[in-house]
Amino acid sequence: ADGLPETDVFRDSVYVRLERLGFRVGEGLSERFSRDRPRFTDQLDVIKFLCKDLWTVVFKKQIDNLKTNHRGVFVLTDSRFRPFSRMSMANPAEAMARAQPHLYFPCGIIRGVLSSLGIKAIVQAETTELPSATFQIKTIPAK
């Protein structure tokens, strides 16, 4: 039963796979697009690079809102997340459930970008209303 699309095991395997692909893409992107810019000064600087430069490369727009608790947690909101721009269904709940997997790859991209710039993090994403998407980044302090 684990191979069936509606099981948790199946969903998790899809998540792991897409997130891993995104991670590798994120690493590559940050290498290519951070090459000609000044050295990063701090964590926030890296996050801003992600929100402005890299988001524009991938989704052709910047992140609309960035919040932080100044203790290593960042919340990025894209109020018109491009992959969601043409999703609609009669039933909003179902649309949201189906939209969810489209967040896995971008989560991986974010983690890959941060990782290649020296920041370890846990990245989670959710949507409460299409086409908006929220990404939460919890950075893990270096020991």
Partner 1 sequence: MASGQKAARVGEEVWKTRVEKVNAELVTLTYGTIVAQLCTDYDYDYAQVNQQLDKMGYNIGMRLIEDFLAKSNIGRCGNFRDTAEMISKVGFKIFLNVTPTVTNWTADNKQFSLLFDENPLADFVELPDDGRAQDELWFSNILCGVLRGALEMVQMSIEARFVSDVLRGNDVTEMRVTLLRYIEDEMPPDDD
Query: Helix, strand or coil for residue 89?
Result: coil
If binding is defined by CB under 8 A, does position 102 make contact with partner 1?
no
Minimal distance in Å, beta carbon 19 to partner 1? 12
If binding is defined by CB under 8 A, does position 120 make contact with partner 1?
no
d(CA 19, CA 14): 8
Q: Which of residues 35-74 bind partner 1 (CB under 8 A)?
A: 57-58, 60
Query: Helix, strand or coil for residue 121?
Result: strand
Minimal distance in Å, beta carbon 32 to partner 1? 6
Q: In the complex with partner 1, which residue's Cβ is closer, 25 or 73?
A: 25
Q: In the complex with partner 1, which residue's Cβ is closer, 28 or 131?
A: 28
If binding is defined by CB under 8 A, does position 24 make contact with partner 1?
yes
Closest CA to 86 of 62, 105, 102, 109: 102
d(CA 78, CA 56): 12
Q: What is the CB neighbour count within 10 angstroms for residue 66? A: 17
Given the rule CB under 8 A, which residues bind partner 1? 17, 20-21, 24-25, 28-29, 32, 57-58, 60
